[in-house]
Amino acid sequence: MKFDTPAGTNPIDQMKVVGKATTRIEGPLKTTGQAPYAYEHHHAVANQAYGVVIGSAIAKGRISAMDLSAAEAAPGVLAIVTAANAGKLGKGKYNTAKLLAGPDVQHYHQAVALVVAQTLEQAQAAAQLVEVRYERAEGVFDLAASHESGVESKEQMADTLHGDFEAAFAAAPVQLDATYTTPDQAHAMMEPMASMAAWEGDKLTLWTSNQMIDWSVTDLATTLGVPKENVRLISPYIGGGFGGKLFIRSDALLAALGARMARRPVKVALARPLIFNNCTHRPATIQRIRIGATADGKITAIAHEGWSGDLPGGKLELAAQPSKLLYAGENRRVTMRLSTLDLPEGNAMRAPGETPGMMALEIAMDEMAEKLQLDPVEFRLRNDTQVDPVNPQRSFSQRRLIECLRTGVEHFGWDRRNEQPGTRREGRWLIGMGMAVAFRNNLTVKSGARVRLNEQGIVTVETDMTDIGTGSYTIIAQTAAEMMGVTLDNVVVRLGDSSYPVSAGSGGQFGGNCSTAGVYAACVKLREAVAQRLGVPLGDAVFADGEVHSGDKRIPLRNAAQAGELVAEDSIEFAELSKKYQQSTFGAHFVEVAVDSATGETRVRRMLAVCSAGRIINPTSARSQVIGAMTMGVGAALMEELAVDKRLGYFVNHDLAGYEVPVHADIPHQEVIFLDEPDPVSSPMKAKGVGELGICGVSAAIANAIYNATGIRVRDYPITLDKMLDKLPQMI
């Protein structure tokens, strides 16, 4: 189904099921332990063996020798996979580094071998007996020292140069020129990377934890050098991903290689200390922001220049991207540069680009508001735009940022904020409020589904869409129920299997809108088949209450399948919409903090997110997504940082003991308000993504609240005690 014009009325607009707060249909399976995660398919195949991955002990260099003799002789060992015996391996589209090192090593903890044994304990013991000798080479591990050597990467984001920034900035009566940094961060999802592989002849089945089924089938087939149709990937339940599971990793490839060599199914789970360096992470950034404005607060010039690093051939962190679209201004310079580093691979993490970019931009906006002696909200209101600032002929399909800001001001009690920093106290605590805008583009991706109707009137949906804890099962069921006029009890949803039609997958916050639109398209086909089977005009048919209504007729839906199951399949394709409209999501975050005047300890006391993201398909799961994202924003603001050993090139705190993330005690009252207004341009669902919008801007809102509380402006995340202690105001 082509979708290239704004949708009018459609069956989704009945809103009998869609748009209603609904608990997760798979919730009982998860809470009772019946939902199998990647390592838990214990009964899928018999005779399972276990693999343990060995990671490189150096960050850059070569493997000069590997002695496997002691490990091969150890009890229970079935096989040891290395680059020397794995056969010729290709390289997938989405992997910057090879997933099996040898002889060259590209980063610390890159996999160098897999030991397969009859039990996990035997594999762990034997892995300790593998002796690897290395020739270490000099590497580059410091972004700050190398960022000036960064190069433009046009494949990902060409420079945006509009107007004459330098002249406009020089002429601006009020100016800001500041540099901000964000650190490397880890996904730290609950479920580790894990896979189980089984071969049947030349056909591979892989049970794994993966967000993008079709991408990964393609990459795995390419790497193994086998036809894509010979690879089946199954991933029905995923314990979090945040972008870290968009691509196959070493657990998947090595499970497949180990199973082929051992001639039996093999399970592989990456130990938590291995994940942080072996897998992808959010790369650090350096961002210089310059803003010039008139005395009355109108931006005339804005420049956002960013640097990030990655392995050779790697990707930019598009942190400067929000400044292309978010605020008005005639003269604009937006650039990103990529430095070559020998750290583990940098790649997508929840709202890549916008998350670190808004961490900097929204502090800069606050600093500029202060220079202008304007309220931070008022400054943003004065610089709203309803069109793409660089391409004014293209308007936003929907942009309700002003309403988000004004709703937040009223609901949060922004009028109680003291304009003068460091003046509100409660005993030893300094109290402050901060805010920031939320912004994330709404991407549209082709997505397909298959829908079945059986003689009991049960509607079954099949799509390779995944559920990474986001509620995909439920919103897909709601879509099918609305389209076919049945209750949720009469819908079965099957996800995460490459034998099903290809969906958008879970990433970029496009999964919810696009996958449900694909289900919508398949249901349109099924409705046609039902009407034809029942002999009623499709134009007159109303699907409701488990029946098909046509004139005076009331025919049970199940009757259409009495002569045999009906099956329909289709995809949604978005044609030229992105050229006609700029599709984005918007919001506003408001935060109140308390900072201990003696120690600098920061406690977040309350948080509010106001979100404009089109139709909210399921308010319950959407709220869950947003408060989870807000929580990650707290972590990014106050604690999350992968500490780089700049001599040896690895992340030192590579486990959940050393890498701090927020816990329940860190998170206060959180409130979410949705401006639930359908966007007819986005899809037939009239929805947009929301799961990543919730993190964008949160960290800056906290930083701005800390400044309001203390008068201390910290531009280098995370905002830890050492960056504040010597600057805290003296107790009166």
Check 305, 462, 641, 692 and give the catalytic one: 692
Is 528 annotated as catalytic? Answer: no
Q: Which two tokens stand for residue 679?
A: 């966007």
Sign of the Cα pseudo-torsion (302, 609, 696, 506, in order)? negative
Taking alpha carbons only, the member of 694, 699, 696 closest to residue 629 is: 694
Taking alpha carbons only, the member of 188, 191, 183, 223 closest to residue 343 is: 183
> What burial class does residue 313 get, using C-beta atoms within 10 Å of its C-beta: 0-12 exposed, 13-18 middle, 19+ buried?
exposed
Q: Which two tokens stand for residue 288?
A: 């210089």
Which residues contact residue 243 at a Cβ distance below 8 angstroms, ignoring those fewer than 6 apart?
187, 211, 280, 347, 348, 349, 350, 352, 507
**Cα–Cα distance, 333 to 318 (Å, whole number):** 14
Amino acid at 607: M
Which residues contact residue 542 at a Cβ distance below 8 angstroms, ignoring those fewer than 6 apart?
485, 548, 549, 550
- What is 593-623 written as a DSSP string? EEEETTT--EEEEEEEEEEE-BB-S-HHHHH
| Residue 201 to residues 51, 79, 224, 234, Cα–Cα distance (Å) | 21, 19, 14, 18
3 state DSSP class of 510 = coil
**Cα–Cα distance, 101 to 254 (Å, whole number):** 11
**Cα–Cα distance, 633 to 645 (Å, whole number):** 25
Residue with tokens 């490397």: 184
Q: Are 384 and 328 in contact (CB under 8 A)?
A: yes
**Cα–Cα distance, 644 to 476 (Å, whole number):** 42
Query: Is residue 36 left, alpha or beta, with left meaning phi > 0 and alpha meaning psi from -120 to 50?
Result: beta
Taking alpha carbons only, the member of 694, 349, 679 closest to residue 517 is: 679
What are the b/e assignments for 602-626, b being 16+ CB within 10 Å? bebbebbbbbbbbbbbbeebbbbbb
Q: Are 334 and 303 in contact (CB under 8 A)?
A: yes
What is the number of residues in the chain?
Answer: 732
In the DSSP assignment, the letter for residue 729 is P
Taking alpha carbons only, the member of 331, 290, 402, 345 closest to residue 110 is: 345
**Cα–Cα distance, 466 to 511 (Å, whole number):** 9
In the DSSP assignment, the letter for residue 648 is T
Q: Are 216 and 233 in contact (CB under 8 A)?
A: yes
| Residue 13 to residues 1, 7, 36, 113, 451, Cα–Cα distance (Å) | 18, 10, 35, 54, 20
**Cα–Cα distance, 142 to 284 (Å, whole number):** 10
* CB hemisphere CA count around 678 (13 angstroms): 17
In the DSSP assignment, the letter for residue 297 is S
Q: Are 343 and 179 in contact (CB under 8 A)?
A: no
Q: Mind telling me the catalytic residues?
A: 692
